[in-house]
Amino acid sequence: MSDAETRGGGRRQIVVGTAGHIDHGKTTLIRALTGIDTDRLAEEKRRGISIDLGFAHMALEGGGSISFVDVPGHERFIKNMLAGVGGIEAVLLVVAADESVKPQTREHFDICRLLGIEQGIVVLTKSDLTSPEQLAKTQEDVKALCAGSFLERAAVNAVSAATGVGLDELRRELGLLAGRAARRGSEGSARLPIDRSFALKGFGTVVTGTLRGGALRAGETVRIHPMNREARIRGLQMHGGQVDRALAGQRCAVNLAGVDHSEIFRGCVLTHGDGLETSKRMDVSVEWMDAAEIPVAKQEFLLHAGTAEIRAELKPLARTAEKKTLARLWLGEAALVLPGDRFVLRRPSPARTVAGGVIIDAFPPARLNRAKTVARLLSIADADLGKRIEILARESTTGRRVAELIRLTGETAARIETALRSNAALVFDEASQRAVTKEWVEQKRREIGAWLAAFHAKNPSLAGAPMTAARMGLDAELAKVVFHGAPGLRAQGDVVSLATHRAELSSQETQALAKIEHAFRQAGFQPAPPAEVLKAAGLEPNRARGLLESLVKSQKLVRVSESLIFHAEVIAHVRKSLAQHKGRRFSVPEFKEWTQISRKYAIPLLEYLDHQRVTRREGDARVVL
C-alpha cells in the first residue's frame, strides 16, 4: 500500500480536519506542515482547487502523530466536506487574513458545531499578503464568528505557508491539542465509516476511514453495510506502516479479501459481524440553525451521517426549545447509525445546511401515537446504557435478548451484560441471555398467584396445577425466570401450587387414592398401564390424574417412564437386592432372573436405575455401582 494517506506512524494519533472557504489556503497549509500534497486528483491539480477529500499526516515532537483530513472549500463539494469531518476530533478553521470570513467559512464552522466537535485552532493564512489593519479586522471577524462556541477560546495563529512565518508556533499548538484529546476506548463495537475504496496492485481491495469505537485486527472477519457483505481483513496500515490492529479514533487503511472495491462506496460502514443492523426509520433530536427552517409537516432533506449522504423525509414531533425539535426520519436508503451518532441536515434546493442533530433511537416502535413517542424519546434521550436497556425491556412483553439489545443499542454483548448486572431494576437470565424488568417478574408472579388461588378453589384435592397451564402463555425460559425463587409459589417437577396450599381430599377421593396406591403395590413388577389403574379408581379422569400425581410427588409411586409407574416399595426392593451385588457385572437376562420381571418392564427399569446411578451400562451389560 503506497497511498499517501497511509504513510507515517506514531504512538498517539488524533484526527484533525480542515474547514474554511475555497482558496483560503487549506491544502497549501497542510502541505507546508506535512510535506504532503493532499490534492491527488488530476482535475484538482489542473483547476488548483480541492474537489475531494485529501489526507496527510504529521509526526509530533515527543511521539504520536496527527492525521489530517483536508476538505474542499467550494460550496459545490460540501457533501465531500461533510464526508470528511464526520470522524474528526478537532478542526483547523482556516481563514485567509486578506479576505476574512466568507460564506463557506460560516457554513463549515456551523457544520463543525452541529457535529459536536469540541476543540480546534483558528489559522489565519496568507498573513504575508495583508496589512496589519486588515489582519486585525480579520481577527475581530473571527472572534465574532466563534463567540459562544467551542472555538471561542481557541488559539488563533497567523501564518504564511509561503514564508513559513507562524508554522512552528502552529505545530506547537497542534501538539498541545493532541495532548488534550481524550483517548478513546477499544472495548466497544468497531465501526469504520468508509470514505474511500480503491484497488492497489498486489494488495487488492483497500478501504480507508476513521475508526469509531472498538478495534480492528488483521485476520478478523468483518461485515460491510448496507449490503451486508462479509470480508476478511488481510492487513492494516496506518501512515504507511503495517500494524496488527487499529484503535478507535485512528485513521487506517484496511486491506480486504472476499470483496471487490467496486462493490464498496463512500457511505458504507465496516463493522465486526456482531449483530449490528441498518435501519431506514429513526427518531432524532434536531438543532436548527434558524427557527424559521423548522417544518410544520413532513419535508425532504439530505441527511449526512458518517460518510454517507442519503435523501430523507423528516416529520417534526415536538419542539423542545426555540431551535430544537424531536423528529422522525424516514431514509431513502438503509444506513448503519447508532444512538448518539451525530448528523447534519441540508436542504436539497437551494442547497444549504439548516440543522444538525443526534440519533436517539435507530429502531423506534412503529405503533405509538405522537404523545407517547415524544414521552418515550424524552426518557430515553439522556439515559445511560442500563436505563436504556430497562426502558427497552419494559416495552416488550417477553423481555429482550442480548442479541436484540446489541441491535437496538449498538453496544457489545460484554457492555450490555455489565449494564444488566449493575441495574437493580433488571433481571438477567444467563441461560436464555434474556433480560426482563423486576417489575414485570413481580407482576407475572401476582397474576400466576391469583390464577393458582382460583385453581386450588376449584380443585382442592389436587397437589397443584400442571406447569404448562400455570405458565399462562409464558415460554419455558420466561417461566423459569418467574418461578425461580418466587416467594409464595411452590414448583415441583411439572406441578406448581401456592406455597400455602395443601390438598384436601373428599372421602371419595381418599378411597380412590388408597385404591390407586394399592393397585400399584399389588402389581409388584408387573404394573398395569396408569390409564387402566385410573379408570378403575372410579373418579372423573382429571381428578384421578391429579391423585396419581400427588402419589408420585409424595414418592409413594415412582414414575420410571411416561407409561410405566412402580410402587416405591418395589423400587426399594430392587435397590436393596442390587446392593448385595455391588461391583458385579450382569446382563439383562440375569436381571430378569433375579427379579422375575419380563423384558417389557426390565429395560425401562434398568434405564431408570442407570439414571439414578444405581447401575451403569457398559455395552450390553451393566455394573452395580
Tell me if 386 sits within 8 A of 422, measured CB to CB. yes
CA distance 13 to 5: 13
User: Sorting pLDDT into bands at 50, 70 and 90, what band is 52?
Assistant: low
DSSP character string of 159-172: --TTT-TTHHHHHH
What are the DSSP E strand ranges found in 289-369?
A: 299-305, 308-321, 324-335, 342-348, 351-361
The angle formed by the CA atoms of residues 580, 585 and 586, to the nearest 5 degrees, is 90
> Can you give the pLDDT at residue 151?
95
Tell me if 438 sits within 8 A of 479, measured CB to CB. no
Enumerate domains of the chain plus CATH numbers: 6-180 (3.40.50.300), 191-272 (2.40.30.10), 279-377 (2.40.30.10), 440-498 (1.10.10), 507-624 (1.10.10.10)
Length of the chain: 625
pTM of the model: 0.79
In percent, how much of the chain has pLDDT > 70?
A: 94
Residue 20 DSSP symbol: -
Range among 37-51, 85-99, 444-458 rated most confident: 444-458
Residue 353 has pLDDT above 70, yes or no: yes
> Can you give the pLDDT at residue 9?
37
CA distance 574 to 591: 10
Residue 212 DSSP symbol: B
Mean pLDDT of all residues belonging to the chain: 89
Closest CA to 20 of 132, 98, 106, 114: 106
Residue 176 has pLDDT above 80, yes or no: yes
Specify the 3-state DSSP secondary structure of 15.
strand
CA distance 304 to 281: 15
Set of cell numbers at residue 418: 455489565
Range among 196-210, 314-328, 467-481 rated most confident: 314-328
Residue 167 has pLDDT above 50, yes or no: yes
Pairwise pLDDT comparison (163 vs 83), residue with the higher score: 163
The position carrying cell 464568528 is 145
Residue 45 has pLDDT above 80, yes or no: no
Residue 73 has pLDDT above 60, yes or no: no
Residue 48 has pLDDT above 70, yes or no: no
Closest CA to 260 of 226, 224, 302, 210: 224
> Can you give the pLDDT at residue 447?
95
Closest CA to 500 of 487, 509, 488, 511: 488
> Can you give the pLDDT at residue 76?
59
> Can you give the pLDDT at residue 11?
46
Read off the pLDDT of each residue in 120-138 and give the average, rounded to a whole number. 94
Set of cell numbers at residue 571: 423400587
Set of cell numbers at residue 516: 390407586
Rg, C-alpha atoms of the chain: 36
Residue 238 has pLDDT above 50, yes or no: yes
The two beta strands, 465-466 and 495-498, are antiparallel
In percent, how much of the chain has pLDDT > 90?
A: 64
Give the tens place of pLDDT for each residue, 484-524: 889 999 988 788 999 999 888 888 888 999 999 999 999 99
